[in-house]
Amino acid sequence: MNESDAHLDDLVREHYELCRPRPERLAALEETLAGAANANKTRRTLFARSKQSTVLFAACVALSAAAGAVLALAGVYSLGGFEPTTGREPAADIIAVQFYAEWCKPSQVVTKRVEALQEASADKNVLFLRLDLTDDTRREQAQLLMASLGFGHIWDTQRGRTGELLLVDAHAMRPISTLNQDNDAEQMFVALTQALAQTIDP
């Protein structure tokens, strides 16, 4: 081996030493990589927890809104005139329920007399209620209203007849008398007065 070859070998060996990973460099590299991996893992964990917190916060807001709506409804039901009828004394003694339809001629006659009756009994404890049975949609709404008042059994016995006015005892939940176009305004007033007397002194 001549001097130039020996010098070349030294250069190759030096280059190899510089490029070969040393143990301390490997350790530092592993530590750096592990630190980066842990940092990424930490970031992923924090992001996941942040998402969970956001979802949890949104759920809490939704529940709070729902609870607020329920409380608002409860306030309306407890403070206003929308209290459920079940389990409480009705405000009226008599509920005058008119079964009406636009296509029913007797309904038109009864309506005028009921309006006069309502004016004449303004100082009495009577609730006037008109049920519109003109079409299927309004008939269904009327049925739901009667059921909500606890008068489902009266709706069942009425069987969709129109042109009638039922005087219903609001305490006993029973009809007292049925009026129609054959009863004039005076007769309706007398019937209402008698019905009120029955609820006061049965």
Question: When comparing pLDDT for 179 and 71, which is higher?
Answer: 179
What is the tens place of the pLDDT at every residue in 72-100? 444 433 334 444 445 555 678 999 999 99
What is the tens place of the pLDDT at every residue in 164-195? 999 999 998 999 999 999 999 999 999 999 99
Per-residue pLDDT band for 3 (boundaries 50, 70, 90) equals low
Closest by CA to 202, choosing from 172, 163, 157, is: 172
CB 119 within 8 A of CB 193: no
**Does 37 score more than 70 pLDDT?**
no
Per-residue pLDDT band for 5 (boundaries 50, 70, 90) equals low
Alpha-carbon torsion (85, 177, 193, 162), positive or negative: positive
